[in-house]
Amino acid sequence: MSFDALLGNEQLKSDLALSLRTGHSSHCYLITGPEGSGKHTLARLLAAAILCQGRDKPCGVCHPCRKVLEGLHPDFITVDDPEHKSISVKLIRQAREDVFIQPNEADHKIYLFPRAQDMGLEGQNALLKVLEEPPAYAVFLLLADNPEKLLPTVRSRCRELKLSALPRELLEARLAGDFPQASREEIRRAAVRGGGFLGQARRLLEEGQSIPPETTAFVHAYSSSDALGLTNLLAPMEKWKRDALIPVISGWLEILEEALAGRAELSSLSRKVAASRTAPDIYRGIQSLQKALAYARSNVSPGAICGWLAWALR
């Protein structure tokens, strides 16, 4: 089994397998990547690998592996409070006390923090104390889609595992297998809009690829060269997270690309753009959207991106 259940990320998987084989595992891992990038899958596989009694870790068939993968292992503990937006310091202190109680049945005790970025400063400081001097059997798995929110002192204690977007062919092949009823076009769109991440693309296909209201509004404003409409549309989006912004802007880009290419099976939105704007106009629009996406991926703030885009697309 090894780490194959996680799609793509080949370098990361082989580095991890090697470090586990040679006994160079870390006591704290920070797993980062946007929503739907596989953080939970990797965390489960890593926990199974650490507790595995088989040869090719995680083997997926030994008793500890199966218990971890089914979410039933008593030494694999999740620290979260899904009812609340942030993880209370009280919960972290409780976990910290629990760390010093010997494992139930394994050689290790693994603590999973699925929303590490939602621990406040106090909580992070409480955790830091145990990260600095953990008992030898303790392992911490911190998951974060926004690792910038973590204290540098916490980050520096962890080995960071950063999940990447998947190669398009690999992602599309997987989606085609998971959604046999979806057309090739639907698969392609979900792969692009999902930013190359399996979880996001899957959700889009599950939701029947409904078009976000912002996209309909964009096509309407862009087609009628309505600068004020574009500004009004982009202003509230300035407060969005980058992870939410990227798929929507990717969707806009795709519509303009389709309109410019004039494919036979144009969607109604692309047809509207193609009918109302000239090819050089659309080409400039495409360049602006590509630039906005590049900004979004290089950590420019959504506020700056949307402000710039309202100006560039006017």
Residue 62 in contact with Zn ion, rule: CB under 5 A:
yes
| Minimum gap (Å) between residue 57 Cβ and Zn ion | 6
Nearest CB to Zn ion, comparing residues 54 and 212: 54
2: CB partners within 8 A, 6+ apart: 13, 17, 56, 57, 58
Size of the site for Zn ion (CB under 5 A): 5
Nearest CB to Zn ion, comparing residues 65 and 249: 65
The separation between CA 88 and the C-alpha centre of its own chain, rounded to angstroms, equals 23
Q: Where are the alpha helices (DSSP H) in the chain?
A: 10-21, 39-51, 63-69, 89-99, 121-132, 152-155, 168-178, 184-193, 198-206, 213-223, 227-237, 242-261, 268-276, 279-297, 302-312
Nearest CB to Zn ion, comparing residues 65 and 142: 65
| Minimum gap (Å) between residue 69 Cβ and Zn ion | 9
Looking only at residues 39 through 58 of this chain, which bind Zn ion when binding is defined by CB under 5 A? 52, 54
Question: For tokens 């392609």, what's the residue?
Answer: 188
**Cα 128 to Cα 133: distance, rounded to the nearest angstrom:** 9
Nearest CB to Zn ion, comparing residues 52 and 221: 52
Residue 173 in contact with Zn ion, rule: CB under 5 A:
no
Residue 59 in contact with Zn ion, rule: CB under 5 A:
yes
Q: Residue 161 pairs with which residues in a beta bridge?
A: 31
Looking only at residues 207 through 226 of this chain, which bind Zn ion when binding is defined by CB under 5 A? none
Nearest CB to Zn ion, comparing residues 6 and 292: 6
Residue 65 in contact with Zn ion, rule: CB under 5 A:
yes
Residue 20 in contact with Zn ion, rule: CB under 5 A:
no
* Contacting range for Zn ion; rule: CB under 5 A; set: 64-72, 109-117, 140-148, 155-163: 64-72
| Minimum gap (Å) between residue 45 Cβ and Zn ion | 11
| Minimum gap (Å) between residue 250 Cβ and Zn ion | 39
Nearest CB to Zn ion, comparing residues 54 and 199: 54
| Minimum gap (Å) between residue 55 Cβ and Zn ion | 9
Quick one: angle between helices 279-297 and 242-261, nearest 10? 160
What single-letter DSSP state applies at residue 163?
-
Tell the burial category of 217 from Cβ atoms under 10 Å away from its Cβ (0-12, 13-18, 19+).
middle
**Cα 74 to Cα 69: distance, rounded to the nearest angstrom:** 12
| Minimum gap (Å) between residue 112 Cβ and Zn ion | 18
The two three-digit tokens of residue 306, written as one number: 């949307």
Q: Residue 138 pairs with which residues in a beta bridge?
A: 109
| Minimum gap (Å) between residue 44 Cβ and Zn ion | 12
Nearest CB to Zn ion, comparing residues 103 and 120: 103
**Cα 87 to Cα 91: distance, rounded to the nearest angstrom:** 7
| Minimum gap (Å) between residue 65 Cβ and Zn ion | 3
Tell the burial category of 195 from Cβ atoms under 10 Å away from its Cβ (0-12, 13-18, 19+).
buried
* Contacting range for Zn ion; rule: CB under 5 A; set: 63-71, 82-90, 246-254, 266-274: 63-71
Nearest CB to Zn ion, comparing residues 43 and 52: 52
**Cα 228 to Cα 203: distance, rounded to the nearest angstrom:** 32
Residue 130 in contact with Zn ion, rule: CB under 5 A:
no
Instruction: Tell me which residues touch Zn ion (CB under 5 A).
Output: 52, 54, 59, 62, 65
